[in-house]
Amino acid sequence: MNEYLVIRLGVEATDPVSWLVWSQQEHEIIASGVLAGATELHQLQERVGGRPVIGLVPASVLLFREVTLPGRLTRQSIKALPFLLEEEVASDVEALHLVVLASREQQVSLVGVDRALMDSWLGWAAEAGFEFKQLIPDVLTLPLQPGDWTAVEIEGQWLVRQNEHSGFQAEAEWLPVLFQTFEPAPVIASYSIPPADCAGEWQMQPAELPMQLMAQGALNNKVNLLIGEYRRQPEWQRLLLPWRKVAIAAGVLLVMLLGNQLLTLHRMSQESAQLKAQTVELYKQIFPGETRVRNPKQQMNQHLKALSGHSTRASFLREFMKLVPIFGQIPTLHPDQLRFDDDRGEFRLQATADGGYQDFDRFRQLAGEIFEVKPGDMKNENGKVQGTLTLRSKS
């Protein structure tokens, strides 16, 4: 962006507000003016457009200080800065918004401003329908003259920059009195006609409009009071803010779905392990001579092939294989003994149900599609039901 809107705010809402639109590419003023007060800031909406807005705040309500820390500047020592100013500030130091301008070893340059004023300035802009990209002390936008001071007059007030990180503001009639207190007398580069009878060595600079001078100094200025609790949100964050609740809800839903999937997989894994254990147990009951059972289904098929000429045993194994998946659907039903009556062509099952009588009912329902199921004796001991069933194939 090559064009900027620069606004110099007042302390009160009724103070005049100077503004200027500056073209960095053309190096010229696009438009400028003065509003009667902060309540007229809405008139600048059409001037904002897509231009960044830089706010200049009066040095008269700012506190510039140099402090010495007991150690180097850290996140912890930053929290102690307000208490180093307690003897210099009449108001509550905790009400100050402090910004570190520079630090070198134990020396820290900072500026402080009352939070109530920060809230007022940002509130005025919000009511007018725009926001500030930066808030800069007006005196720190004046040209920096190494070893010398810089001054300009605007609306009956003098802005004076003393060095890179400090300055002050004074009414024109009080400036001669104020300059008598400075020893030695300073050298001042003045961009306005120097006041009469004022101490110091005043050196006249090429005259420029005060707002133009400050606008040029604001564009590449790194100072910004909008830090910490007043940090300006990046554009992408502001655009995403309305979708924040939706994103949170979607995230919660995703976590729930993933959690359910994991629980389902865990449950299926447990059921698979239980089914395999039951199958192995049943296999050992049928073939007690085999102690090494790795793949009961494959080993069972091998027995079926070997018994292809023994119809009774082969028939038993084929019918038995129909029972295996039924047990897999009822993991809390554990077969204790399974016998086959060759003469009757039927199974006699003894089992224990951790889930009570309903496990047997479930088994009878599932097995009833393939077998004729006849219940036998059942008893309940210590919360578990033991019972017998007789199963005869329908085919």
In order, the DSSP letters of 266-295 are HHHHHHHHHHHHHHHHHHHHH-TT----S-
- pLDDT per residue rounded down to tens, the chain (395 residues): 689 999 999 999 999 999 999 998 888 999 999 999 999 999 999 899 889 999 999 999 999 988 887 767 766 666 767 767 766 665 677 788 888 998 887 888 899 999 999 999 999 999 999 999 999 999 999 999 888 999 999 988 999 999 999 999 999 999 999 999 998 889 999 999 988 889 999 999 988 899 999 999 999 899 999 998 898 765 544 545 455 666 677 777 777 777 777 776 767 666 666 666 766 666 666 565 666 776 666 666 666 555 444 445 556 667 777 777 888 788 888 888 888 777 777 888 888 998 888 888 889 888 888 888 888 888 888 778 899 999 888 76
The identity of residue 163, as a single letter, is N
Task: Please give the single-letter amino acid code of residue 7.
Answer: I
Type of residue numbered 387: G
Rg (CA), the chain: 44
Sheet with 53-57, edge to edge strand ranges: 28-35, 17-23, 3-8, 53-57, 134-137
The DSSP secondary-structure symbol of 245 reads: H
131 and 171 Cβ atoms separated by less than 8 Å: no
| Edge-to-edge strand ranges of the sheet holding 107-114 | 63-68, 107-114, 96-104
pLDDT at 375: 87
pLDDT, position 245: 64
Are the C-beta atoms of 205 and 151 separated by less than 8 Å? no
Find, among 115, 16, 3, the residue nearest to 56 by Cα: 16
- How far is 212 from 192, CA to CA, in rounded Å? 13
User: Does an H or E element contain 392, and which?
Assistant: strand 384-393
Taking the C-alpha atoms of residue 106 and residue 98, their distance in angstroms, rounded to an integer, is: 17
* Per-residue confidence (pLDDT) for residue 62, from 0 to 100: 93
How far is Cα 228 from Cα 57, in angstroms, rounded to an integer? 18
CA distance 294 to 92: 79
- Residue 309: per-residue pLDDT: 46
pLDDT of residue 64: 92
The residue whose two tokens read 């457009």 is: 49
pTM: 0.60
CB 290 within 8 A of CB 283: yes
Query: In terms of DSSP bridges, do strands 134-137 and 53-57 run parallel, antiparallel, or are they unpaired?
Result: parallel
pLDDT of residue 307: 47
For 327, residues 6+ apart whose C-beta sits below 8 A from its C-beta are: 275, 278, 279, 282, 333, 335
